[in-house]
Amino acid sequence: MAMKPIRKAVFPVAGLGTRFLPATKSIPKEMLTIVDRPLIQYVVEEAKAAGIEEFIFVTGRGKSAIEDHFDKAYELEQALETHNKQKVLADLKSWLPAAGSVVYTRQQEPLGLGHAVWCARRLVGDEPFAVLLPDEIVQHDVPCLKQLVEIYQQTGGNVIAVFSVPREETDRYGILDVAGDDSAALVEVRGLVEKPRPDQAPSTLSITGRYILMPEIFEHLGDHEKGAGGEIQLTDAMTKMIGRYPFHGYRFKGQRHDCGSALGFLRANIAFALQRDDLKDDLKDYIRTLSI
């Protein structure tokens, strides 16, 4: 049976970014750069590569730089034209989403990830959709969301990207309870718990910030039930769909970077710079000079 295509993606970008203060006092954390591209651009390009046609941002106050970033910059383009910087100009135009394909709505209060996704319900409508959390970036030839879409085309239903974490870190993630072998690449989800204590975690398989979800999730999110940390959790609403639809976790291929922490952010910068022909040799030389 042909599955409904995944055409829309939700990007929850309302978070305050307190872990990156003072940088995020006046700049959205999603605009912090990995080498020379803002975090949000990596994630939007990933979505585009997975076939996404509509980009739904759930923003908040102080996030207008994101809107400007995905808009045409006439004066800048004119200046680049005047100075004959054609290559820079071409790059600037290459990733700009098509006119009318980006929409914004605001999460007025920080009530949790589940609430942020719920804010997009009218924009998503009645079709399966993707959620991408810009704090996480996965480095691989096949973009992480594309990997999930390929799985979805076989399994249908909900599909989430998963990876193993050390047991002492389970309280930082949504954790899966799986039917059968939890070391398989594709696992069937039997349960989900948001941020369980290590001694209570049903496994060490955690949810990464990439989801393909059935639109019924909005009915459950609409209950506004509070979960871990007193927040409306996406994980709790997903739990209510288990048994009603196929629900799979997929161990994605690639290197995950947690760009929501200073160390993860620094690592991502180094890892992505080492992939750049114009930077890698000089960067390696520099790293070798560090007496560490």
Residues in touch with ligand G1P (CB under 6 A)? 113, 133, 135-136, 173-174, 194, 206-209, 233-235
Output 80 or 174, the one with its CB closest to ligand G1P. 174
CB-nearer residue toward ligand G1P: 96 or 242: 242
Closest CA to 130 of 146, 107, 113, 108: 146
In the complex, the smallest distance separating the C-beta of residue 229 from ligand G1P, rounded to whole angstroms, is: 8
In whole angstroms, the minimum distance from the beta carbon of 281 to ligand G1P comes to 33
Amino acid at 133: L
- Comparing CB distances to ligand G1P, the nearer of 158 and 235 is 235
Instruction: Yes or no: say if 265 and 275 are a contact pair by the CB < 8 Å rule.
Output: no
d(CA 220, CA 215): 10
Q: Whole-number minimum distance, CB 165 to ligand G1P, in Å?
A: 9
Closer by beta carbon to ligand G1P, 7 or else 190: 190
- Smallest distance from ligand G1P to CB 270, Å: 21
Quote the least distance from Cβ 232 to ligand G1P, whole Å.
Answer: 10
DSSP string computed for 140-172: SSS-HHHHHHHHHHHH-SEEEEEEE--GGGGGG
| Structure tokens belonging to residue 272 | 């992505």
Least Cβ distance, residue 174 to ligand G1P (angstroms): 2
Cβ partners under 8 Å of residue 96, min gap 6? 70, 72
Min. distance of Cβ 195 from ligand G1P in angstroms?
Answer: 7
Point out the residue whose Cβ comes nearest to ligand G1P: 174
CB nearer ligand G1P, residue 80 or residue 165: 165
Contacts of 177 (CB under 8 A, 6+ apart): 189, 190, 191, 192, 193, 202, 203
Beta carbon nearer to ligand G1P, 207 or 217? 207
Q: Is 100 left (phi over 0), alpha (psi -120 to 50) or beta?
A: left
Q: What is the DSSP letter of 238?
A: H
255 - beta bridge partners? 139
273 phi and psi angles, rounded to 5 deg: -65, -35
Pairing of the two strands 186-194 and 174-179: antiparallel
Nearest to ligand G1P of 242, 273 (CB atom): 242
Nearest to 10 by CA among 53, 57, 42: 57
Q: Shortest distance, CB of residue 261 to ligand G1P, whole angstroms?
A: 10
- Which of 77/231 has CB closer to ligand G1P? 231
